[in-house]
Amino acid sequence: MAGKQITRSKSPLVVLTLLLVALSLLFFFLLSFHSDSPAPFSDGPLYPNPIYKPETSFVASLERFLLAHDSPPPTVRSRRHKPEELDDLLFKTETRRLYADPYYPLTMPIRVYVYEMPAKFTYDLLRLFISSYKDTSNLTSNGSPVHRLIEQHSIDYWLWADLLAPESERLLKSVVRVHRQEEADLFYIPFFTTISFFLMEKQQCKSLYREALKWITDQPAWNRSGGRDHILPLHHPWSFKSVRRLVKNAIWLLPDMDSTGNWYKPGQVFLEKDLILPYVANVDVCDATCISETRSKRTTLLFFRGRLKRNAGGKIRANLVAELHSAEGVFIEEGTAGEGGKAAAQNGMRKSSFCLSPAGDTPSSARLFDAIVSGCIPVIVSDELELPFEGILDYRKIALFVSSSDAVQPGWLLTYLRNISPAQIEEMRQNLAKYSRHFIYSSPAQPLGPEDLVWRMMAGKLVNIRLHTRRSQRVVKESRRICTCDCRRANSTTSGHLL
């Protein structure tokens, strides 16, 4: 009897133990199933988390964003401190992090304070775009659709939308939004400079620029650092042009460095301070499955569709057209952005092994990023080009780099391309399939997408930002100053001083 009682008393314990083991195994299985996204050269899907299907259309994402922010909920506002008060608070925060975190200041996530600017600098401009984007008659002086041009340079929207999203809906681990300025590593200025430039009357735009400049430079955090820890999206080379010399210490988000000096004044931009971001692609992504399916259809050797006449460094285009005109296996035609242009470019790129990517008016060109996401190996002919996220990505694995002098030599470029082995072409195509995720903006922003790589690159700048901020704060009037960026004869793609 006693034995039976002992057996019965143990039975619930055994069952409970087995249940706990089963639940633990289920938990670890689910944890591994929803683990971080695969490494960039894994065989995982382009968007590894099916729970958050990303929206990659700028218009669709913006419409959803404005609907959600029609009546923005009240936010936690940071107390407006005087510069010296904010400096003391930041000193305490940084000291606490220094002694508490053995890896500080090399830790992540980056802490970003997002300014709450008046609606005329933010929401009103986004609504102006969405209310007029169907106007296809609105063209630039060279015939490009204005609204499509804004989409190509809409990096300011994608970054801001991610920072404003509730933390429960965000996927990025590299950055976190803070609501108190004394906790911030960096300050984000959400002014839509490209929309205002293209959609407002000239004088109205200049007036808005001056108002934005005053608002920005009146901020205590700006005055504390001279703007050195502030991020300003200026992705179109014409944006904020009339006043940007007055904010040259800020971290500019750019399409390239334009070392020719045609678009940015000498000394305004350089790699130590600023960050290069990719254009928003004008074509749909061709993933690994698409690349496999189109392999046998890529019968064109070299493809280019775009503006054939450009200014400054882009004059190389006319020379290339003259050299390659009517060559066998080459397709080159005049074309602009827009729905018809998108379809023609996408179709041509998916039927081609190589895509010509010459300089535009500036060293960069949107064609490069269209080619990357199309699985078409870029042939870059732009001697002064700086590339997005090159501290993280190795472009030699996905693109060919050709000097302008070689490219225009009779027969040289086509001979070079025809001598590339099928094995090398196939390897580069596979790399393009894996790299394309780094150039696709989306909402929600995806791990290893361009928004994520922005903050990973910013992490590498933080130590120098603090160095130059503190140095500028303590330099006295009688000290002999090291040559500042004002002394530079042209824009530099090497390190520079930030005094």
State the pLDDT confidence band at 155, using cuts at 50, 70 and 90: very high
223 located within any domain: yes
Query: Does pLDDT of 498 surpass 50?
Result: no
Task: Residue 322: give the domain boundaries.
Answer: 288-436
* CB-based contact 130:63 (threshold 8 Å): yes
Give the pLDDT score at 390. 95
367 located within any domain: yes
Q: How far apart are CA 485 and CA 275, in angstroms?
A: 16
402 located within any domain: yes
Is the model more confident about 93 or about 81? Answer: 93
In this structure, the answer to whether residues 274 and 306 fall within a common structural domain is no
Would you list the DSSP string of 186-249?
Answer: EEE----HHHHHHHS-HHHHHHHHHHHHHHHHTSHHHHHHTTTTEEEE--STTTTTTTGGGGTT
Give the pLDDT score at 29. 43
364 located within any domain: yes
* pTM, full prediction: 0.83
136 located within any domain: yes
Give mean pLDDT, residues 135-150.
75
Give mean pLDDT, residues 449-467.
96
Give the pLDDT score at 311. 58
Domain harbouring 373, CATH code: 3.40.50.2000
In this structure, the answer to whether residues 293 and 270 fall within a common structural domain is no
Is the model more confident about 11 or about 445? Answer: 445
445 located within any domain: no
Q: How far apart are CA 259 and CA 167, in angstroms?
A: 39
Query: Helical H runs in 277-359?
Result: 288-294, 316-324, 339-349
Summarize pLDDT for 87-135 with one digit per residue, the tens: 888 888 888 888 888 888 888 999 999 999 999 999 999 999 999 988 7
User: φ, ψ for residue 300 (rounded to 5)?
Assistant: -85, 135
In this structure, the answer to whether residues 219 and 312 fall within a common structural domain is no
In this structure, the answer to whether residues 200 and 297 fall within a common structural domain is no
Angle of helix 155-164 relative to helix 58-68, nearest 10 degrees?
A: 40
Poorest-pLDDT segment among 62-71, 77-86, 406-415: 77-86
* Beta-strand pair 230-233/175-178: unpaired
Q: How far apart are CA 251 and CA 275, in angstroms?
A: 7
In this structure, the answer to whether residues 187 and 327 fall within a common structural domain is no
In this structure, the answer to whether residues 383 and 309 fall within a common structural domain is yes
Query: Does pLDDT of 39 surpass 70?
Result: no
In this structure, the answer to whether residues 218 and 106 fall within a common structural domain is yes
Would you list the DSSP string of 136-189?
Answer: TT-B-TTS-BHHHHHHHTTHHHHHHHHHHS-GGG---SSEEEESSGGG-SEEE-
Distances (CA, A) of 487 to 22, 93, 248, 366, 471: 69, 35, 14, 32, 18
In this structure, the answer to whether residues 231 and 268 fall within a common structural domain is yes
Summarize pLDDT for 229-251 with one digit per residue, the tens: 999 999 999 899 999 999 999 99
Query: Does pLDDT of 327 surpass 50?
Result: yes
In this structure, the answer to whether residues 321 and 232 fall within a common structural domain is no
In this structure, the answer to whether residues 121 and 155 fall within a common structural domain is yes
35 located within any domain: no
In this structure, the answer to whether residues 389 and 463 fall within a common structural domain is no
In this structure, the answer to whether residues 294 and 174 fall within a common structural domain is no
Number of domains in the chain: 2
Query: Does pLDDT of 52 surpass 80?
Result: no
- The share of the chain scoring above pLDDT 70, in percent, equals 79
Summarize pLDDT for 53-65 with one digit per residue, the tens: 799 999 999 999 9
pLDDT, averaged across the chain: 84
385 located within any domain: yes
